[in-house]
Each structure stands twice: as structure tokens, then as C-alpha cells.
Amino acid sequence: MNDDDKALLRLNTMSDWIEFPGFKKDKLLEELKPFDKDWKKYNPKKPNNRWGLSVTSIDGGLHGIPDLTSLRDYKIQTGQDIHNHDIVVPTDVWKQCPTLQTILEPWAKWLGRCHFLRMDRGSFFPEHFDINKEDYSYDEIRLVGFVKCNEYDFKWIYDDKVIKGNSGSLWYFNGNKRHSVFSFKDGIILLVMCLKFDKELFQFMLDYGKVK
Amino acid sequence: MSYLFDTIARYGDIIPLKYKLDYKKFEEGLELFGDKWVQYNPRKKIPRYGLSITSLDGGFSGRPDLDSLKEYNIEHNLNLDEPDFKTLTPIWPYVESVLSKFKNHLGRTHIIKMSAGGQFPSHRDHYDRELPTCRLFIPIYNCNPPFNYFILDDNLLRFDHGRLYFLNTCKEHIVFTSGRGGNQQSMFIVANLILTKESVDLVLHNMRSS
């Protein structure tokens, strides 16, 4: 076991949800308005009223391929094996939204696939685990920013508990555990950030977290 | 009448009762009346379907018992409420096993099935000081995670399928079917119990744990 493995082990013994400094949600939503027409169907193979807006992509474009699709399906279709940490090129969304830049800047060194997720009414992610199931060559963790949601119109069920994320808050969550999310209203927006894990990231999380 | 509701709710928000559905009989009914499902609240395009167990006229039209009562009342200048839907439809003998004790106390009662994306958004069932009815619930198929999520007052419920429950739906609740992302449907019965001393006694004397 190397130090990165030990760091991940330590992280996994901490809280499943760790809060980091938040952001000005209204300002961020205002900055996203010029991109209203750039939202793409999220994983269009599974019609589900979910939409994505790329913050990073494979080439800096906003087309959503393959970053807003299933990377597993993409590999089957094209033979290209792309991981979350390969999707690193900033899109115009990143380049043109100062509030988003403020959120991302501290994490940029580790940041891979990253997008906004808009969940319209009736959309959902059924119960799943986000754990890296097959490739032991790397580990990753996830952060979620609650951009536009409320506890009544959006339900996040995590290991059988109901999570309440206030708009404007940013969290690490242990995606290895079973979770599902449901939207009861159009326009619920989350920011999803995939981070390649190493011991430096762990140290940063300890320093930057709201709870020391 | 509120004290009648509170008399039950003091024992819990989710109370399993002694009665269970006879699935063999129920499935005979589903087979017979499989063409009677109608869109639940057709004003909203949500994958929810209803089959009336009671209605105004004993028919399966779903009008207005599977419509939004609030909006139907406004449109037709009526004041229909849950207790007004008392006439049993022909599917009654097939659900009788679980509801027979309450036969004379039922208001609007129906079977609901939902496909992936089917939902009842966050709501409470009563907003008045006086409560004429309370809700009974019978989970039939796929009513637990990962197929279906019933969250009441921030608690994720896990049901014993086929069992009759009292639910305190005055508390905030949602229902959402994911079908596990596939084609599985969830199905359950929602019954309105007209609150009287007699019907409350029936609930209190038939709690599973007493």
C-alpha cells in the first residue's frame, strides 16, 4: 500500500459528506445564461429528461461527446478507452464564468470530467455506486455543488438517508456508497466534479474543508 | 374529527395493520379489468395510471375520482371530497381480502401503477383543521428501493408488500418510481378511510403490533 492508498483509506474513514467553501449561486446562474442553448441531453441513449453542460471536455467543445455520455458505452462503440481524468480541456463555460472559475481554481490540479447537470421534472439517477469498479491503476473522488435545488423538489437518497444540500454549497461525497437522485421540478442544477485522487488532494481537503 | 385522526397518529406515522392482500385473487382481477386503467390526473403528463376501486357511480371512467378533485370542483362548481366516492366498482371482490374490514368506511380508493419517472411531488394530503379521512396504503409490486421511493417526513419507507398500512400523509411526502431505470412498474392501492369512531377503532384494534 502506497501513501496515496493510505490517504484514500483515511478519507474513507471520515465523513461521507465533507463541506467546502461555497459559492454565489445567483451570480453563477446569471453567468450561465449565455449558455442556455448549449445544454445537451445527458446520456442520450437513456432518455430521462437529464441535461448536461460541459465544464471540461475531451477537446474543449460543448458537444457533450463523450463527456456527457456513458464512457463505457463510448468504449464499446469506438474502442477508445477514455477515463474521467482524460477529460480535462476547459470549455467556454469554464473560461467565461468567473464564479465557476473561483469554485474550480483550488481543485484544478486534480480536476477531470466536470459538468453541470440539469435535472428536469421526472428525471432521476437510479440507485448506483460511483466506485471505480474495474481499473486499479487510479482512484478518483467526486464533489457536488448544489447550484439550484431545494429539499422539496429534489431528493438525494444516500445510503437510505435523505440528503439536504443547500443551494450554493459544495461537498465531497463518498460516491462509493449507494445513492440515487430524483427531480420533481424543471431546472434543478448541480455541478459535478471528478477529481483524480492522490495524497496531496487529501491534504488539501483537510486544509480547505469547513470542518478542520 | 381531527381528534380521530390524532388518535391513530399518536401510535405512529407508519402503522402496519394485520391485513394482507390475497395476490392470487388480486391477479385474477387485474387480468379481468386490465383494460380499465386510465391516466391518473390527465391534466399532468406523468406516467401514472389509476384503476378505481370506488367511484361516484361504480364505474371505471376515472372521472372524476382519478382526476384532480380540486380542479374538477372548480371547473364544475362542485365540492366533491374523498368521502363522496363510496360506490364500489366491479374490482372490489379482488381486493376485498385486504380491505373487507373497512368496506363500509371507504371513500375514494384506487389502484395506482407508475412507470419509470412516475411521481407524486412533495406534498401534504390535508390542510384543514378538520380531517374527514385518513390514508390507508397497500404496496403491491415494486414499492421499495431500488424500484420505488416513498419518503415521508424525510424517512425512506420500506414496505412489506401486500400489507395494509396507515400512513400519516399530513406529513410531507413524495413517491418516485425509477423502475431501476428499466421497465419495472410499481403498483399500490391508496384508500381513503372515512374517520368515525367505528373506523378508528378498527384501525386501533388491528395494528400488527398491539
Contacting residues for B8 by C-beta, under 8 A, at least 6 apart: B15, B134, B166, B200, B203, B204
**Partner-chain contact A124 B122, CB within 8 Å:** no
Contacting residues for B163 by C-beta, under 8 A, at least 6 apart: B16, B17, B19, B20, B21, B138, B139, B208
State yes or no: pLDDT of B172 exceeds 80.
yes
Is ipTM beyond 0.85?
A: no
pLDDT above 90 as % of chain A: 90
Mean pLDDT of chain A: 95
The answer to whether residue A69 is domain-embedded is: no
Strand order in the sheet with A161-163: A124-128, A179-183, A154-158, A161-163
Strand extents, DSSP E, B21-147: 38-39, 48-52, 54-55, 87-88, 106-114, 119-123, 133-141
Q: Per-residue pLDDT tens for A95-108?
A: 999 999 999 999 99
User: What pLDDT, on a 0 to 100 scale, did the predictor assign at position B166?
Assistant: 98
Cα dist. A140→A4, A58, A196, A198, A199 in Å?
Answer: 11, 18, 4, 8, 11
In the structure, what pLDDT confidence band is assigned to residue B1 with cuts at 50, 70 and 90? low
The answer to whether residue A82 is domain-embedded is: no
State yes or no: pLDDT of A85 exceeds 90.
yes
How many angstroms away from the CA of B133 is the closest CA of chain A? Answer: 24
**Partner-chain contact A157 B149, CB within 8 Å:** yes
pLDDT above 70 as % of chain B: 98
The answer to whether A126 contacts chain B (CB < 8 Å) is: yes
The answer to whether A211 contacts chain B (CB < 8 Å) is: no
Q: In B, which residues are within 8 Å of A155 by CB distance?
A: 149, 151, 174, 176
Q: How many domains does chain A have?
A: 1
User: What is the arithmetic mean of pLDDT over B37-55?
Assistant: 96
Measure CA A128 to chain center: 15
User: What pLDDT, on a 0 to 100 scale, did the predictor assign at position B139?
Assistant: 98
In the structure, what pLDDT confidence band is assigned to residue A61 with cuts at 50, 70 and 90? very high
The answer to whether residue A67 is domain-embedded is: no
d(CA B135, CA B5): 10
State the CATH number of the domain containing residue A183: 2.60.120.620
The answer to whether residue A16 is domain-embedded is: yes
Domain ranges, residue A131: 3-35+91-198
The answer to whether A182 contacts chain B (CB < 8 Å) is: yes
Q: In B, which residues are within 8 Å of A42 by CB distance?
A: none
The answer to whether A35 contacts chain B (CB < 8 Å) is: no
Instruction: Name the residue type at position B3.
Output: Y
Q: Per-residue pLDDT tens for A162-211?
A: 999 999 999 999 999 999 999 999 999 999 999 999 999 999 999 999 99
Q: In A, which residues are within 8 Å of B151 by CB distance?
A: 155, 157, 162
User: What is the arithmetic mean of pLDDT over B144-161?
Assistant: 96
The answer to whether residue A52 is domain-embedded is: no
What is the DSSP code (8-state) at residue B33? T
The answer to whether residue A151 is domain-embedded is: yes
The answer to whether residue A112 is domain-embedded is: yes
Mutate to test the interface with B, among A127, A154, A164, A181 (most CBs of B within 10 A): A127
The answer to whether residue A98 is domain-embedded is: yes
